């Protein structure tokens, strides 16, 4: 079975000293929300250079790495596939040529592959997902399928509706994963945001003012351990 692993970052706001603040990049399991690896992002840098060392110590066999558009990088895709894994990456304006090519695919003719309708936190959200098999020549390493997700959100109190279209790319071929599983991987990526919420609300992570050396990263690791043990 394929295991979803979400890569995303979090700033520890309470660790701010002057213009410096601790920012961590973590790899979190979709199913259990267990943090499998965590790395501190260097000061005056961003998450991109931390991606390779974060995953280098993990066995990526049968693992699907999901990540936001910042990590939709050629080098990251090559690293994951070379290690025996797969990826599902969100595509936005930081990859303009790729985004333009994805938007130009025949989505109108594509069949609806998955639909979910959920109501939570005072809003109704309908997601519709379509998949297109990618022809050779798409400017991204190991790309096999393109994904379009239309997300329609309605605020139950105000009645206001917003529609957002999201594009993604994956190295998984049609025979390697079902449409429902692929849709679940995309939804599951947001599980790491749920983990951030637990760390902030239950463990008051953003209120923690430890600033010295590795203390913020160590405390974040201990909070991850506590959350993981609580889920056993």
Tally the domains of the chain.
Answer: 1
pLDDT above 70 coverage of the chain, percent:
77
Prediction pTM value? 0.81
Whether residue 123 is predicted with pLDDT greater than 50 in this model: the reply is: yes
List residues bridging with 90 in a β-sheet.
Answer: 168
Whether residue 212 is predicted with pLDDT greater than 60 in this model: the reply is: no
Q: Does any domain span residue 106?
A: no
Tokens of 62: 């049968």
Q: Beta strand pairing status for 3-17 and 63-67?
A: parallel
Domain with 200, as residue range(s), is 1-68+189-232
Q: Does any domain span residue 128?
A: no
The most distant pair of C-alpha atoms in the chain lies apart, rounded to whole Å, by 56
Q: Beta strand pairing status for 35-40 and 145-155?
A: unpaired
Q: Does any domain span residue 108?
A: no
Q: What is the pLDDT of residue 22?
A: 76
Name, in order, each residue with C-beta under 8 angstroms of 222's C-beta and a sequence gap of 6 or more.
none
CATH of the domain at 38: 3.30.420
SS3 state at 115:
strand
Whether residue 12 is predicted with pLDDT greater than 90 in this model: the reply is: no
Q: Does any domain span residue 9?
A: yes
């Amino acid at each position: 079975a394929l295991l979803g692993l979400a890569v995303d970052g979090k700033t520890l706001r309470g660790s701010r000293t002057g213009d410096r603040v601790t920012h961590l990049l973590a790899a979190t399991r979709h199913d259990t929300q267990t943090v499998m690896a965590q790395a501190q992002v260097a000061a005056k840098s961003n998450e991109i250079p931390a991606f390779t060392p974060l995953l280098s110590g993990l066995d990526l066999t049968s693992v699907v790495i999901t990540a936001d558009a910042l990590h939709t990088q050629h080098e990251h895709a090559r690293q994951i596939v070379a290690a025996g894994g797969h990826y599902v990456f969100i595509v936005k304006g930081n990859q303009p040529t790729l985004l333009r090519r994805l938007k130009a695919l025949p989505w109108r003719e594509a069949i609806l592959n998955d639909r979910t309708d959920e109501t939570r936190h005072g809003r109704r959200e309908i997601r519709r997902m379509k998949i297109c098999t990618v022809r050779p020549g798409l400017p991204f390493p190991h790309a096999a399928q393109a994904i379009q997700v239309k997300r329609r959100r309605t605020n139950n109190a105000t009645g206001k509706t917003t529609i957002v279209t999201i594009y993604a790319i994956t190295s998984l071929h049609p025979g390697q994963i079902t449409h429902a599983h692929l849709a679940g991987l995309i939804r599951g990526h947001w599980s790491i945001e749920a983990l951030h919420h637990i760390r902030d609300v239950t463990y008051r992570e953003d209120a923690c003012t430890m600033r010295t050396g590795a203390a913020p990263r160590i405390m974040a690791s201990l909070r991850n351990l506590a959350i993981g043990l609580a889920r056993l």
